[in-house]
Amino acid sequence: MHVVALARSADALESLVEEISSSGGSAEFRTCDISKAAELGDLIEEIASTNGRLDVLVNNAGITRDGLILRMSNEDFDDVITVNLKAAFVACRAASRPMMRGRYGRIVNIGSVSGLTGNPGQANYAAAKAGLVGLTKSIAKELGGKGITANVVAPGFIKTDMTEALGAAVEAEIAPRTAVKRIGEVEDIAAAVSYVASDGAGYLTGQVIVVDGGLAQ
C-alpha cells in the first residue's frame, strides 16, 4: 500500500514518510490547507488520479479553540467546525468518486468521546465531532452498496501534543477514571484504525468505535 500524508506543514510529514519508508513501506507527503475546500478536494482527486485508485481515507486533522460558551467567539466556533467537520466532508466527497469507480473503499473518520458525551469548554469541538458521527453514518448508508465502508474511531484521552498541553495534573486525574487505569497511547488508536481500514472489516460500517479505556462507559 502506498500512503499519501497531508498536512499544512511539511515538518512532521517528512519524518513520518521516512519512518514508513525505513520500515519497508511506500509513502509520500503533500502540503495542503484543509480549511480551503477547493484546494483539499482538488488535491485528493489528483492523488487518486496519479496513483490510479484510492482505497483508504483517514480524516484525522483536528484543532481546538476551547472556551466556555458565554465567552466563545463566532470565529473560534467556525474555525473548529471548518477543520474538524467541513474538511472531513470535503475529503469524503472527493474520495467517494474514485472509491466508487474501484468498487472498494474504507473511510475512517477520527472522532472523539467528546462528540458522544459533550465536554465543558468544548462546545465547538464536541459539536464538530458529534456532526462527524452523523456524517459518517449517512455516508455508510449511501455508499455501502458500492463496497465502501465508513466508520468513526473515537479516542478518549490519548497522549498527544494536544493533550500534553493540559498538563500532568489532568493526566493524573483522568487515568484512575478509566477501566484500564492508564492514559491511552497513539498505538491504541492506530490499532483500531488499522482494523477498520482492513479488508477484514468489510461488514463493519456506520459504527463508532470508542477507544477510551472504558472512560465513557
**Would you please indicate which residues are annotated as catalytic (active-site) residues?**
125
DSSP string, 88-106: HHHHHHHHHHHHHHHT-EE
Q: How far apart are CA 57 and CA 72, in angstroms?
A: 32
Q: How far apart are CA 179 and CA 157, in angstroms?
A: 13
Dihedral Cα 135, 58, 86, 14, nearest 10 deg: 170
Query: Apex CA 94: angle with CA 88 and CA 100, to 5°?
Result: 120
Q: How far apart are CA 180 and CA 122, in angstroms?
A: 25
